[in-house]
Amino acid sequence: MAEKTEDEWRQALTPEQFQVLRGHGTERAGTSPLNVEKRDGVFNCVACGQPLFTSDTKYESGSGWPSFYRPIESAIAATTDRSHGMTRVEVHCARCGGHLGHVFPDGPKPTGERYCMNGVAMEFTPK
């Protein structure tokens, strides 16, 4: 994991990015321009540049957040999140540990998973 102090992360990220990536926050549904991104390319961690998802695994889930059915191999890590009175699987960048969102078991085939990601935690690189 990329080792930075809290102050270094605050300097490197916008306030909204810091709140999501380092504070385990969530952006408001429907606010990310990545919701409508349809070009071929790669979605990377905005904090460290780690490639996370390819555009061919993105789909419209109707959730209000960019959704994918499969991450790039070894790109993410997951932990159990018991906040908000429920148990969920929290998704982090495997390189820097930044909070990206959650994964749910209600996605499309072939995986049946929905990686519901905060758009503010990612940046898109077109092919």
Boundaries of every domain in the chain = 6-126
pLDDT at 1 over 70: no
Q: Can you read off the two tokens belonging to residue 33?
A: 């321009």
Q: What is the pLDDT of residue 81?
A: 81
How many angstroms separate the Cα of 1 from the Cα of each of 15, 89, 93, 97? Answer: 21, 19, 9, 6
Q: What is the pLDDT of residue 24?
A: 92
> In sequence order, which residues have a C-beta less than 8 Å from that of residue 66 and are 6 or more positions away?
32, 34, 35, 37, 43, 58, 116, 117, 119, 122
Predicted TM-score of the model (pTM): 0.93
Bridge partners of 93, per DSSP, are 76
Q: What is the pLDDT of residue 90?
A: 95
> In sequence order, which residues have a C-beta less than 8 Å from that of residue 25 and are 6 or more positions away?
19, 99, 118
Annotated catalytic residue within 45, 93, 96, 116 = 116
48 is catalytic: no
pLDDT in tens, 5-41: 999 999 999 999 999 999 999 999 999 999 999 999 9
Q: What is the pLDDT of residue 75?
A: 98
Q: What is the pLDDT of residue 2?
A: 54
Fold classification of 6-126 is: 2.170.150
pLDDT in tens, 85-126: 888 899 999 999 999 999 999 999 999 999 999 999 999 999
Q: What is the pLDDT of residue 19?
A: 97
pLDDT in tens, 39-95: 999 999 999 999 999 999 999 999 999 999 999 999 999 998 887 788 889 999 999
Q: What is the pLDDT of residue 84?
A: 73
